[in-house]
Amino acid sequence: MNFCSNCGSQISKGIPENEDRERYYCTNCGVIHYQNPRVVVGCIPEWHGKILLCLRNIEPRRNAWTLPAGYLENGESALEGARRETWEESRAIVYDLVPYYLADLIGVDQLYMMFRCRLSEPNFETTRESKDVRLFAEKDIPWDNIAFTVIAQTLKRYFADRANGAYVFRNEQLTTHPKRRRN
């Protein structure tokens, strides 16, 4: 960030008055440009014991498998966002969404909220974002080609809980590599 979105002046970085940490702020108009984590919402869609995964057609991690997930939009709930992302990436309609896994990715400034859910029908298709969409039994999950650590972790917790007969909501902090940090 170089210029103030409020007045167009050059932006400075430092600790403004009454703040306790470094911020980007405008020395001309005084506006502080806060930067906060982005929220990613997604689903673990299940159909008769199988889990829906999408083969990414976009960077980062093109050609790796993922659960449908994406950035929450302004004006929508986390649940609505997770349902929308699932539709956008796989054209699958999901229901019975239940909050399941909350992951803090401190290094990349993201918060993941993943929902358990079911497909209303085994209907899905490829999209601009997904070059392939498939249902996987647990034994067939492509563990060596899962797009992100947080997705692999979500799946591991899910299958472990399922084997135990009870799903437990969790909040975990995952170590992530800062090089993927957005600008």
Which stretch, 20-28, 125-133, 146-154, 162-170, contacts Zn ion (CB under 5 A)? 20-28
| C-alpha dihedral, 91 to 98 to 151 to 160, nearest 10° | -120
Nearest-approach distance from CB 34 to Zn ion, in angstroms: 14
> Residue 36 contacts by C-beta under 8 Å, 6 or more apart in sequence?
109
Q: Which of 1, 10, 14, 29 binds Zn ion (CB under 5 A)?
A: 29
Q: Which of 26, 44, 135, 152 binds Zn ion (CB under 5 A)?
A: 26
Buried b (16+ CB within 10 A) or exposed e, 52-85: bbbbbeeeeeeebbbbbbbebeeeeebbebbbbb
Pull the structure tokens for residue 78: 């986390």
Q: What are phi and psi of 72, to 5 degrees?
A: -65, 140
Q: Which is nearer to Zn ion, 11 or 64 (CB)?
A: 11
16 binds Zn ion (CB under 5 A): no
Which stretch, 8-16, 17-25, 82-90, 100-108, contacts Zn ion (CB under 5 A)? 8-16
Q: Which of 7, 32, 160, 168 binds Zn ion (CB under 5 A)?
A: 7
32 binds Zn ion (CB under 5 A): no
4 binds Zn ion (CB under 5 A): yes
Q: What are phi and psi of 130, to 5 degrees?
A: -130, 115
3-state DSSP call for residue 181? Answer: coil
123 binds Zn ion (CB under 5 A): no
The length of the chain in residues reads 183
Q: Which residues bind Zn ion (CB under 5 A)?
A: 4, 6-7, 9, 26, 28-29, 31
